[in-house]
Amino acid sequence: MNKPVLLVLAAGMGSRFGGLKQIEPLGPNGEIIIDYSVYDAMKAGFEKVVFVVKPELLEIFKEQIGKRALKYMEVDYALQDVSCLPDGMKAPCGRSKPWGTGHAVWCAADKIDGPFGVINADDFYGRDAYMRLYGFLTKDVGEKHMCMVGFPLKNTLTENGSVSRGICEIQNGKLMSVTERTKIYSGENGIFYTENGVDTPISGDSIASMNVWGLSSSVFEKMGREFGDFISRLTPENENKAEFYLPTFVDGLIKEGLAEVNVLETTAKWYGVTYKEDKDSVKKALADMYDEGLYPNLLQM
């Protein structure tokens, strides 16, 4: 079996941050979150990373981020573009943005020929998540055997507003379904989500999906067919906005009996900048980890 590859979904970075030059360093030595992700993945055993990026941002991404990742492992790139479609299909003339996380993974099909992990570029997951992911990919992954690293909901919240999270239904360690809950927030009396104007309590120990998946390259054929079906079902009303999501694809495999997804529960705390007010708390957390010796100066290694 080929060694596991880490696939980092980074094509959305330019739109969210207004261009790579505006990504703000969060670590005490000027590190950005991707620096920590690649370092933690290397410590877990990964030896290669593939970044999915926009074609127009490829060169600046290589210069500002890729060169830093080369200190830790082999680096390659896959391009996510709206015109990257199954044979014989064309994008609607008004479509300008790519097709979502499932599409991003599919765009990397020719870069991966074995087990691989999938993460978001702008999420800090903690080393334990990568250790669990790599362990599964080297022992248990297969055509029908996949995994998802799940986080306790209470470890994925922000003090500065509400978040949306995929809440997992789990039976005997297997993922049964993921339900998207919007407007989850932590209040004085616990954690709640808001739906149709009603606040409903939810346990902080509920397991949330943060888009950390372990898959085999055997999924690409099925993913291509599903993506083609998705494109063929577009209507004039949604053809410029609809997205092909990775969790939706995996959920479909589960429902069809084509996949078993092990949920690898981690106690790690997730960090990310959902709101601009989150920056200070993330910076403090990363500085504390540096002071505790958990991370070196990643830019001087």
User: What is the topology classification, in CATH, of domain 5-291?
Assistant: Spore Coat Polysaccharide Biosynthesis Protein SpsA; Chain A (3.90.550)
CA distances from 289 to 27, 36, 221 (A): 10, 11, 41
Q: Which residues have CB under 8 Å from 20's CB, separation 6+?
A: 13, 14, 57, 60, 61, 64, 65
Confidence at residue 19, expressed as pLDDT on a 0 to 100 scale = 56
Contact 258, 118 (CB under 8 A): no
Burial 150-177 (b: 16+ CB within 10 A, else e): bbbbbbbbbebebbebbbbebeeeebee
Evaluate if pTM is beyond 0.95: no
Tens of pLDDT along 234-292? 888 887 888 888 998 999 999 999 999 999 999 999 999 888 889 999 999 999 999 99
- Cα–Cα distance measured from residue 291 to residue 28, given in angstroms and rounded to the nearest whole number: 9
Distance CA 250, CA 259 (A): 8
148, 253 contact by CB (below 8 A)? no
Q: What was the pLDDT predicted at 205?
A: 95
pLDDT of residue 276: 85
pLDDT confidence tier of residue 113, bands split at 50, 70 and 90: very high
Average pLDDT of the segment spanning 192-218: 94
Spans of all domains in the chain: 5-291
Please check whether residue 231 is in contact with residue 144, taking contact to mean a CB–CB distance below 8 angstroms.
no
Structure-token pair, residue 33: 């979150």
Residue 14 scores a pLDDT above 70: no
Higher pLDDT, 85 or 292: 292
> What number is the average pLDDT over the span 172-186?
92
Higher per-residue pLDDT: 26 or 237: 26
CA–CA–CA angle 99, 110, 254 (5° rounding): 60
CB 8 within 8 A of CB 52: yes
Q: How many residues does the chain have?
A: 301
- Do residues 245 and 102 lie in contact, with contact meaning Cβ atoms separated by under 8 Å? yes
What is the rounded CA–CA span in Å between residue 69 and residue 65? 6
Whole-number pLDDT of residue 22: 54
Specify the amino acid at residue 123.
D
